[in-house]
Amino acid sequence: MRRFLLSFAVASSLVAALVACTGRDRAGAEQPVRPTSALFREAALNTPASAEPAVPGGTSLAPLIERLKPAVVNISTTTVTRQPRGMRRGQLPDGFERFFGQPSPHGGGPGEAPDEQRGQGLGSGFILNGEGFILTNHHVIKDATDIRVKLADDREFSAKVVGKDPLTDVALIRLNAPPRDLPTVVLGDSDALRQGDFVLALGSPFGLSGTATLGIVSAKHRGGVGTGSPYDDFLQTDAAINPGNSGGPLFNLRGEVVGINTAIIAPQLGSGIGFAVPINLAKSLLPQLQAGGKVVRGYVGVSLSELTPDLAQAFGLPSGSKGALIQQVMPKTPGEKAGLEPGDVVTSLDGKPIESSSALSRAVALVPPGKSLKLGLVRKGSQKTVSVTVGQRPDDEAAVGREDGEEGEASAEGSKSPKLGLKVATLTPDVARELKLPPETGGVLVTELVEGGPAEQAGVRRGDLILEVNRQGVARPADLVGLVGKMKEGEMALLRIRRGPLHAYVAVPVGGRK
């Protein structure tokens, strides 16, 4: 089922976004602060924790909220959208004509759209230090031409963007001419959160500044929830949130910020499902945002996929194995120089377990370019450790080839593999030229697929090249038929396919699923 999320600044007609995190100790208790960079204050790592988290039963949270609220701000933005001169009403979306019935003050005749249209947005944020630095969401200040920040005591200041990172939806702004008496927050440890910990969200839903809601951490490490970023690692919470909370803090019951409220599931699909950027992720980005205005990420140069149970079986790994499967190693990259190979299963980074491809992507991204890291991996059944010197991730990732394999006339030599539900043919030089493949390209060409068959269900497409079966190269259809013919029904055939410039391993159950 497709998931829809609303991200959060209340901007004109766009609504939605926010929430997630956790709390542990007694509400309202001041906690020791560990000095860090001047940019933010961080809770002491050795703060004693109670055996059980405090439950806000008969005890009021009022003292805690009163202490935290002054450092939470309301952010309003103005954006200007330029329209082509002379746009007629007939070019406007249905329902907008009534706004342009009078002559535009910027030129054009009656019924023409103005050259500029202004939009308003609302969001939240929180003050990091006495110099006026404020943390919020990127989508709150995106494309803003004017940013206004209102404090809890109703003082209002203009602000400017210092740095932003769209991939994690984090932004750092700063007040212009900040006062000397700014209240600030303390940043906590989001890694220490547990499912069920209490969290407190403060923000400005619908512009109602200083609104507080209480909930729990519903889940951690939520990715693939619809934002499209490979670095999603959200905290999920059921704390009540509304449009305008975006960028606001999620506190634990010690009064430490543990998340940045960011997104919610669309209300028509569900309620009480919100997401927050973990504060530890934001802390790792803040020095770069302050110094350079953007985030420079580490880069190894490999294509990854999840290690599914089918792939684990096909690679001969134990049931329940976790890790990230390297599908392809890009040429002239740190990964190629380090000797990484397609089919390697990465299980750890610098001794820390890696359980998914997204976890590996996030971990590598946080490694500064030029630093060496050690990847623990499984290669053809053997444990290995490979040292990789991380490069700098390109700012603009190039599009990677065709989505569908092109088709051409294949050789008359062809064979069917009923066990896989496909037919293949020899890749002739003429077909290789039509597919824009190098002359030395090997493999066999998939020419037909049985509808609903094992290969089709596993994701194989017509026009794909099958390069290997069970880690053995195939040059002729007979090679594939022979290798698959030795397998029993129910076993996993590990195919290495090429689609355009991309390479990937695909696990296909021989004879289909029983």
Annotation says 246 is catalytic: yes
Task: Give the H/E segment covering residue 64.
Answer: helix 62-68
Annotation says 191 is catalytic: no
Residue tagged active-site, from 25, 165, 169, 197 = 169
Residue tagged active-site, from 246, 348, 357, 361 = 246
Residue tagged active-site, from 7, 25, 139, 417 = 139
The residue with tokens 């359980």 is 355
Buried b (16+ CB within 10 A) or exposed e, 420-434: bbbbbbbbbeebbee
**Assigned token pair, 306:** 């999840």
d(CA 61, CA 65): 6
Helix (H, G, I), strand (E, B) or coil at 219: strand
Q: Is 196 exposed, middle or buried (0-12, 13-18, 19+ CB in 10 A)?
A: exposed
If you count them, how many residues does the chain have? 514
The secondary structure of 140-158 as a DSSP string is: HHTT-SEEEEE-TTS-EEE
Residue 397's CB is within 10 A of a number of other CB atoms, namely: 8
Q: Is 359 exposed, middle or buried (0-12, 13-18, 19+ CB in 10 A)?
A: buried
Q: What are residue 167's DSSP bridge partners? A: none
Annotation says 76 is catalytic: no
d(CA 274, CA 240): 8
Catalytic (active-site) positions: 139, 169, 246
